[in-house]
Chains A and B, each alone.
Chain A
Amino acid sequence: MADNKNTAIAQVDLTKVKPYGDALNDGKMELAFTLPVPYGEEAEECAKQYVKALGFLEPNVTYYHELTPGFTFFVVYGSAQQTIDYTAINVPKVEGTVMDRVECGEWIGEHIGRDITVVGASIESDAHTVGIDAIIQMKGFHGHFGLERFKHVVPYNMGSQVPCEQLIAKAKEVNADAILVSQTVTQKDIHIIQLTKMEELLEAEGLRDKIILTCGGPRISHELAQELGYDAGFGPGKYAEHVMSFIMQEVEKRGWQDKPNIADR
């Protein structure tokens, strides 16, 4: 039994991983895509060659269909050859311990000794409130309550299409410890443009090191956030407790316990 248990694991070379279908290193992958070519046998061959050119062996077009004259949809299977060294991977993660809602409230009471104020908005052209609501609104998302239900947290939800200037003005007005920026629309990288604008404006106002700046959205990672000059980024599967766990520990790290006013920081 002991031997059996180890067989599959033992054979994996983590310095050279590739997709798994039903046997180690078979490299099996399924692809679905459209080519702007007329439907027919040439189209099928074109898809096969395309997938081969991507580095797959034995491409197999399992289904193809005309979407409209001049466009054909394909489902293709193939065996990938490319490998990746898993042992060399390094993913930047938001630092600190993640606590739940109740623990966050208690932790702030004990370690900060005052309420933490945050201001959030979906900025500029983005009309979607779903992200910022999921984090701030009382009911939260997927059974994870929002910041409005947290003890010792005072959140302001400014909604959507909020100009960066207005968000910063509000943060100053209420002496926010942190700003939460939500971006849902990502077409043509509009989120990058808008997030950059926000960071630059905060910098220009001389507030960048006096306010914790975070962002979130379905296409946002911590790594991207850091590249854009944010303190943290929160992607899919992150809820209010992740955001607040980070902010409160950051407030402590920066020694803002006795500095509720921005001017004192």
Chain B
Amino acid sequence: MKSKLNLDFNVVNSARQHAANIAHDMQDFIDRHTTVSTERTILRLLGVDGVDEVDNPLPNVVVDQIKDAGALPTGAAYWMGNAIVQTGKTPQEIAEEVGAGKLEITKLPTCSQEEAAAALEPAIKATFERIDMQKAKRAEYLKTIGEGPEPYLYVIVATGNIYEDVIQAQAAARQGADIIAVIRTTAQSLLDYVPYGPTTEGFGGTYATQENFRIMRKALDEVGEEIGRYIRLCNYSSGMCMPEIAAMGALERLDVMLNDAIYGILFRDINMQRTLVDQFMSRVIIGYCGIIFNSGEDNYLTTDDAIESAHTVTASQFINEQFAVLANIPENQMGLGHAFEMDPSTTDGFLLELSQAIMAREIFPNARLKYMPPTKFMTGNIFRGHLQDALFNLVAIWSGQSLQLLGMLTEAIHTPHMQDRYLSIENAQYIFNNCKHIGDEVEFKEGGIIQSRAQEVLGKADALLAEVEKEGLFATIEKGKFGGVKRPFDGGHGLEGVCVKGENYFNPFIARFMDHE
């Protein structure tokens, strides 16, 4: 296909190669380390769930015990496998005994690594049967009731109460939404554990718990069958428990997960070593399970200027793509992010937005691009806001975006009311239908504003990636090259949960999750 923007694909290839080198460089570091959250993920995938009598999740209780004994470098898989060999019990029973203070998992007699690995096989098999069943269920739904056309209409619910969320989500699906994201309560990203059970209290969102996932999944399947369209469920595989939530998403059939290789570092001040190790584990799970990940490049533009720093978005998309390649995520599950966040008072700003969006599509033709609405320049003037969202929708249909997170006219005022979602969906449906083939019909003036802008941004992204490759990703983040945010190598939350793998370490899931397509 000929580039409408007259992009030089030698520059695209160069940028992609720099990003691949950056990701490879990081992968060496990732492969040598593990984290408490990665180890808790392994336990969850072995079937450990529930809480002790003071509501500590059992995966935390077990991993903390191993860590306190200085035995984390050997990995939770070994200690759990060994405990199965020594006691003949299941992982859940063993975790419950640890939780009840009846068992010190590192104080048992020890078997060989091979014996421990073999003892885990039944639990691993059960988990894969469940995940494969969920994948089959999704495939069957897509075959029988089908799905809406792209761009998928993606809306959020954020009441804080999962049961109220269900009402809002089903209403949105009936109005035409294709994806429902349950926004997380504002403080969850920095919790070093995943809360347990159904929840009815939250601020600006609802806790991500496995039970809440289950409740919403069931509600969306019901409404999907009713209206004859599969409704995708989205939540956050991010923050301190990034891989654990990916595992929960795999088990409960989430379809889309917010997941970014560097977002947590920049915007939640999570330690960079921790995040990079965690993102790998989360992404191998996501890749296997057919989940579309959404990266968070749109956020750069809320802290940085969308016109000046557009190239950082493009550069980060390349990096997120290459980390995804290393985790064996298929292209059609790469929901690379970007946003319509330029100051609306900019002369010809619409042309610049259009240029950026079409460029993203041409560079990543098979990705499931996720397009984010205006937020930074939404004012509380709902009438103007509705118009801003309309221009955003016009760019989306024109440039062929995949996941359209619908803007709400009440952005900057409150989390959406039921009628706001209806008005947003109506806005998008009107424009998507009324302008359906605009992208096929319109070409751009050679050397005009739109073409020149894309070429300039791509060139800058390539130059930035060359610089990052030279300095290394860690050093680049320390210098504040992304989002204008500086983060130190040894700073931020969660560093104490990172450790170097010992000689006998093993993670039984990585190879199995990587084994597809």
Contact = CB atoms under 8 A, between A and B. Distances in A.
B488 to A, nearest CB: 13
B419 A125 contact: no
A61 interface: no
Contacts of A34: 417-419
Given A34-B417, A127-B186, A68 B175 contact: yes
Contact of A130 (B186, B268, B269, B376): B376
A125 B419 CA distance: 28
Given A68-B171, A190-B203, A236-B379, A127 B418 contact: no
B190 interface: yes
B268 A127 contact: yes
A126 interface: yes
B484 A218 contact: no
A142 to B, nearest CB: 8
Greatest chain B CB density within 10 A among A71, A127, A139, A161 is at: A127
Contacts of A125: 185-187, 203
Interface string A65-91: 101100101000000000000000000
Greatest chain A CB density within 10 A among B204, B267, B304, B413 is at: B204
Contacts of A142: 343
A185 interface: yes
Contact of A67 (B343, B376, B418): B418
Interface residues of B, number: 33
A185 B158 CA distance: 12
A37 B171 CA distance: 14
Interface string A18-35: 000000000000001110
A185 B303 contact: no
Nearest to A141: B376
A88 B413 CA distance: 29
A224 B175 CA distance: 38
B412 interface: yes
Contacts of B414: 186-187
Contacts of B190: 161
B204 A67 contact: no
Contact of B187 (A73, A161, A187): A161
Contacts of B267: 129
B419 A187 contact: no
Interface string B178-196: 0000000111011000000
A139 B160 contact: no
Interface string B454-483: 000000000000000000000000000000
Contact of B419 (A67, A127, A185, A188): A67
A34 to B, nearest CB: 5
Interface residues of A, number: 28
B174 interface: yes
A137 B422 contact: no
A188 B171 contact: no
Contacts of B415: 187
A240 to B, nearest CB: 16
Interface in B133-175: 160, 167, 170-171, 174-175
Contacts of A218: 380, 412-413
A133 interface: yes
Nearest to A162: B269
Contacts of A260: none
A32 B414 CA distance: 15
B302 interface: yes
Contacts of B203: 125, 185, 187-188, 190
Contacts of B490: none
Interface in A128-164: 128-130, 133, 137, 139, 142, 159, 161
Contacts of A188: 160, 203
Contacts of B343: 142
A139 B305 contact: yes
A187 B186 CA distance: 10
B269 A137 contact: no
A137 B485 CA distance: 10
Interface in A166-186: 185-186
Contact of A133 (B171, B303, B380, B419): B303
Given A32-B419, A139-B305, A185 B186 contact: yes
23 contacts: A33-B419, A34-B417, A65-B422, A67-B418, A68-B167, A68-B175, A68-B418, A71-B171, A71-B418, A73-B418, A73-B419, A73-B422, A125-B186, A127-B268, A133-B303, A139-B304, A161-B268, A185-B204, A187-B204, A187-B414, A187-B415, A218-B380, A218-B412
Given A34-B417, A68-B174, A236-B380, 16 more contacts: A65-B422, A67-B175, A67-B422, A68-B418, A71-B418, A125-B203, A127-B268, A129-B267, A133-B303, A139-B484, A161-B187, A185-B204, A187-B160, A190-B203, A218-B413, A236-B379
Interface of A: 32-34, 65, 67-68, 71, 73, 124-130, 133, 137, 139, 142, 159, 161, 185-188, 190, 218, 236
- Shortest 5 CB-CB contacts between residues of A and residues of B: A68-B171, A125-B187, A185-B204, A73-B419, A34-B419
Interface of B: 160, 167, 170-171, 174-175, 185-187, 189-190, 203-204, 267-269, 302-305, 343, 376, 379-380, 412-415, 417-419, 422, 484
